[in-house]
Amino acid sequence: MQCFNHQNLAAIGVCHSCGKALCAHCALDTGEGLVCHSDWCERRNALVNQSLEANARIMATANRNMRSGGIFSGMIGVVMLIPALLLFRHNPIGGALLAVPGMLFAMYGFSRLARKNLYPTIEHKPAVPEHALEDHR
């Protein structure tokens, strides 16, 4: 692959914003991907990376909320089921009235806890070894 601007030079990568092939002179390594020496490509790349990070944070929070919501519902269910069982001996109807919502809460809570992450998450990106860039120059 040749550089978009220099037909005689080999490209070391493509711009993360506009997709043009870039040689070592044309590529700017932002630390978050190569871009052209262009304000627009640089800003767009930064914006894309910021958006991805913001999204990852939001999704991680949503996953945590789902788990903590599951724990909360499960606890409410258990708290309702214990007196329901105690009540059941003397007052079966009253016990059942308490046991049914208690079981629903508990089942709802456990189903939320049993589910895998609702949203995809991403770990910290692996560091790119230096020689990976050098080899193509």
Binding residues for Zn ion (CB under 5 A): 3, 5-6, 15, 17-18, 23, 25-26, 36, 41
Residues 11, 1: contact at Cβ < 8 Å?
Answer: yes
To the nearest whole angstrom, how small is the minimum distance from the Cβ of residue 51 to Zn ion?
17
Task: Name the residue nearer to Zn ion (CB basis): 36 or 98.
Answer: 36
Task: Name the residue nearer to Zn ion (CB basis): 2 or 61.
Answer: 2
Task: Name the residue nearer to Zn ion (CB basis): 27 or 98.
Answer: 27
Structure tokens of 17? 């914003």
State residue 63 phi and psi, 5-degree precision.
-65, -40
Rg, the chain, Cα only: 28
To the nearest whole angstrom, how small is the minimum distance from the Cβ of residue 107 to Zn ion?
53
Farthest CA pair distance, the chain? 91
